[in-house]
Amino acid sequence: MVDPRISIIDERLKDIRNIIAVSSGKGGVGKSLIASILALTLAKKNYKVGLFDLDFTSPSTHIILGAERLKPKEEKGIVPPHVHGLKYMSIVYYSGEYASPLRGADVSNALIELLSITRWGKLDFLVIDMPPGIGDATLDLIRLIKSIRFLVVTTPSPLAYETVRKLISLLKALKIPLIGVVENMKVSESNLIQQQVRKMDVAFLGEISFDTKVERTIGNVNMLLETAFAEKVEEIISKIEF
Amino acid sequence: MHEWALAEAVISAASQIADKEGLREVTEVKIKVGELQQIELDILEFALSQLKPAKFKNAKFSIEIEKAKLKCRVCGYIWFFGKEKLDENMAEAIHFVPEIAHTYIKCPKCSSPDFEILKGRGVWLESIKGVKLGDG
């Protein structure tokens, strides 16, 4: 028996110019905020942008965007609704306020299902908010999306960086393009992470100071984009050659 | 019309297999549809009839429904999916993403959401038959 869904994924993604996975070895480093601001900033620059929350068991970008009562349109598949200028897709449309306790194989299956039925149409960028680690979602994206590139987020913590180092090693060994590493939640001056990243021959994209005001803007995109955090993300993005 | 997207996937996969096996004409396509996803068969059949390429002009599409059988990983209980226990929104969510079953369905014996879908998930291309290039 053949799973027919795999064969249609390339067709579904063929009109997307750039697919960027925002990833990290650890949770809680700011992936979802950076992925959301990356997508919103690119949309503000008049690019056509999609945001796909792939953290199926703990989705959170809908809270950041204040997009909690939306549904995709059903039209020969599913068409993501527009949220703040983004085509936005999340499993939360289906799981709502309830928990989604999924094992690895279930995560894989849900990912393949959504990739095979979602009609993104023409996009300049599809930003993917990844779950932490190098589990099923990461391996499936590498397997199923040939043009994927990774933007990796770490914090200054050696605990976070150690997991990021392993993620980078894996991506390099598999010859998956890396856009670079962002160091988030800086609380003191140190070049340690920057040096370690450069030693691995990976671009260090920039550092973002810990911003105590960000939490208060969750759910309000206009306020979020005015934070020092968002300004720094925008500055980092402006230096990236996509 | 989410069935349309699944029909496209079936046609795409069947076309790739037909090319790989050197079939100049496809005569039969067997599809298995898991009950868990509650696919509307008439829409799926209509989509297949509209999407089929020339090579599939005379192909017979046969669709078999497979009952959804679930097994609790905690207590080992095995049961069959019954959509009557779900409200419309829950059933629709599982229709789009069958794994959402873990959000709304619990083991009838121990109430755990940690169960395995033994059978009856998704759409499968079971087999295709046809006439090879160079045959009669």
- DSSP states of B5-27: HHHHHHHHHHHHHHHHTTEEEEE
For residues A19-35, average pLDDT: 97
Identify the residue among A1, A3, A5 best suited for mutation to test binding to B, counting B beta carbons within 10 A and taking the highest.
A5
For residues A147-175, average pLDDT: 97
In a domain? residue A136: yes
Residue B136 has a pLDDT of 62
Question: Which is nearest to A10 in space by CA: A109, A117, A146?
Answer: A146
CA B116/CA A106 separation, integer angstroms: 9
In a domain? residue B46: yes
> What is the overall mean pLDDT for chain B?
94
In a domain? residue B104: yes
* Whether B58 contacts B98, CB under 8 Å: no
In a domain? residue B136: no
Beta-carbon contacts of B42 under 8 Å, excluding residues fewer than 6 positions away, are none
CA A147/CA B57 separation, integer angstroms: 34
In a domain? residue B42: yes
Residues β-bridged to residue A148: A19
In a domain? residue B110: yes
A24 DSSP 8-state letter: -
A76 vs B5, B14, B93: nearest CB: B5
Report the CATH number that the domain containing residue B28 is assigned in CATH: 3.30.2320.80
Candidate from A17-31, A40-54, A210-224, B85-99 with smallest mean pLDDT: B85-99
Three-state DSSP at B32 gives strand
Q: Do B97 and A91 touch (CB under 8 A)?
A: yes
For residues A130-159, average pLDDT: 96
Q: Do B97 and A2 touch (CB under 8 A)?
A: no
Residues spanned by the domain of A216: 6-239
Categorize the per-residue pLDDT at B84 as very low, low, confident or very high, splitting at 50, 70 and 90: low
Residue A46 has a pLDDT of 96
Q: What percent of chain A has pLDDT over 70?
A: 100
Give me the number of domains chain A comprises: 1
Give me the number of domains chain B comprises: 1
Bin A186: left if φ > 0, else alpha if -120 < ψ < 50, else beta: beta
In a domain? residue B122: yes
Q: How far is CA A195 from the centre of its chain?
A: 24
Of the two residues B136 and A53, the one the predictor is more confident about is A53
In a domain? residue B77: yes
Residue A90 has a pLDDT of 97
Q: Is the ipTM of this complex over 0.90?
A: yes
pLDDT in tens, B100-120: 999 999 999 999 999 999 999
> Do the bridges between strand A73-74 and strand A78-79 make them parallel or antiparallel, or are there none, so unpaired?
antiparallel
Encoding tokens for residue A14? 């063929």
In a domain? residue B60: yes
Residues spanned by the domain of B57: 2-131
Categorize the per-residue pLDDT at A163 as very low, low, confident or very high, splitting at 50, 70 and 90: very high
Encoding tokens for residue A1? 């028996």
Collect all residues of chain A within an 8 Å Cβ-Cβ radius of residue B102. 100-102, 106
Residue B83 has a pLDDT of 67
Collect all residues of chain B within an 8 Å Cβ-Cβ radius of residue A8. 5, 8-9, 12-13
Beta-carbon contacts of A149 under 8 Å, excluding residues fewer than 6 positions away, are A18, A19, A20, A21, A176, A177, A178, A179
pLDDT in tens, A171-206: 999 999 999 999 999 999 999 999 999 999 999 999
Report the CATH number that the domain containing residue A104 is assigned in CATH: 3.40.50.300
Interface of A with B in 119-178 (CB under 8 A): 119
Beta strands in chain A (DSSP E): 16-23, 49-53, 73-74, 78-79, 82-83, 86-90, 123-129, 148-154, 178-186, 204-209
Interface of A with B in 52-111 (CB under 8 A): 56, 74-78, 91, 93-96, 98-103, 106-107, 109-110
pLDDT in tens, A47-66: 999 999 999 999 999 999 99
In a domain? residue A1: no
